[in-house]
Amino acid sequence: MALALLAVSPVAVIWIAADWLHEVFRQSNTFFGQNPRLYTVLTIIAVSAALTLVADKIYHHIKAQQKRQLEHI
């Protein structure tokens, strides 16, 4: 059950963020207000890509650090 909640949590966060972004874009008087659904999706994709790049950098940093530690043993 706990594993299912962990899997649902990111989806819920994205869903809430998407709803909030859509509302912000819809109410704005800028060009974002012309097509709020498109800009909501594009924003979520951009944020997801950026977070993936950061996670990848952290993973490779930790992996290199572990390799250096094993070389000293």
User: How many whole angstroms from its chain centre is CA 14?
Assistant: 8
* Amino acid of residue 54: V
Instruction: Write down the domain spans for the chain.
Output: 2-72
Percent of the chain with pLDDT over 70: 88
- pLDDT of residue 7 exceeding 70: no
Confidence of residue 22 (pLDDT cuts 50, 70, 90): very high
**Tokens 């979520």 belong to residue:** 44
Confidence of residue 16 (pLDDT cuts 50, 70, 90): confident
- Please report how many Cα atoms fall inside a 13 Å half-sphere around the Cα of residue 5, on the Cβ side: 2
Q: What's the whole-number mean pLDDT along residues 41-67? A: 94
Rounded to the nearest 10 degrees, what angle do helices 2-27 and 36-72 cross at?
A: 140
